[in-house]
Amino acid sequence: MGQLIGNQGSPTTPGIQAMDLSERDFLRFSRLVHEQAGINLHQGKKELLRARLAKRIRELGFESFSRYYHHVVTDDTGEELVQMLDCIATNLTRFFREEAHFEFLEELVYPEFRQAVKVEKREPVLRIWSAACSTGEEPYSIAMHAMDRLSAKVHVLATDISTRALQKASEGIYPSNRLSEIPPRMQNRFFLKGHGPREGFVRVRPEIRSCVTFRRHNLMEPPPVQREMDVIFCRNVLIYFDRATQKHVVENICQVLRPGGYLFVGHAESLNGAVPQLRYVRPAVYRKP
């Protein structure tokens, strides 16, 4: 374990702004992050890495990036590795992001589901995995959309590598101005308005929160469940991986995508035939034959 020092500002502690992230330390951190989470931190991300880790180093009182690195790799509990990845993870999302995917659910996925249930080819439960769910806007959007358009049970598994993001997601509390993408009818149906000290905030109603299960998961690892999923959302995360890691991640998650199921990726992402078990349907939408 790295040597701990006094609080920030003590005579023996260098200011974090003056603390340099050497090329050697940058390469060690970037290699560790790639090995553990698949995230590709190229040279252009050096300052971002320094800035993201600075606050954590200050909190723990380490005198250098090198000592903090030693602390991370010698922590047998693995807890500091989780904290470090939390610092690096980018949690950028919003409700009903990439509207075309929700239109696709309504136009194709829901009718196929209804028909299969009608002829008793499957159980009447739609199962969706929101991988890299960030602070919960995506899985809650999925649950709200399905409940609004589909008279059937929907179970959403929501996973992320960031424990901080998952904590916020599980609470389901957001500033009111985050609902701008949601029609007023759905806002009234699916959110509770805060009063008093909660003025200006809303909370996702219990019936929607009960549809979503949050769980920490690293996309480099095998799926966290064995049950097959009808749809998997893995959007705007593959761009952080190199090509080989993208292939590994997609092959991983597709282990639990049922035959005929759909994978949604971000509109800035493309698999380009890298995963042969998936068939291209339209931009950012793939299907498992």
- The phi, psi pair for 241, rounded to 5°, reads -110, 155
Q: Are 172 and 135 in contact (CB under 8 A)?
A: no
What radius of gyration, in Å, describes the C-alpha atoms of the chain?
A: 21
52 counts as catalytic: yes
How far, in Å, CA of 51 to CA of 211, rounded?
A: 37
State how beta strands 173-175 and 201-204 pair: antiparallel
Report the number of secondary-structure helices (H) and strands (E) in the chain: 11, 10
Q: Are 188 and 243 in contact (CB under 8 A)?
A: no
Spot the catalytic one: 28, 52, 258, 287: 52
State how beta strands 257-264 and 125-131 pair: unpaired
Spot the catalytic one: 25, 86, 160, 230: 160
- Would you name the residues annotated as active-site residues? 52, 160
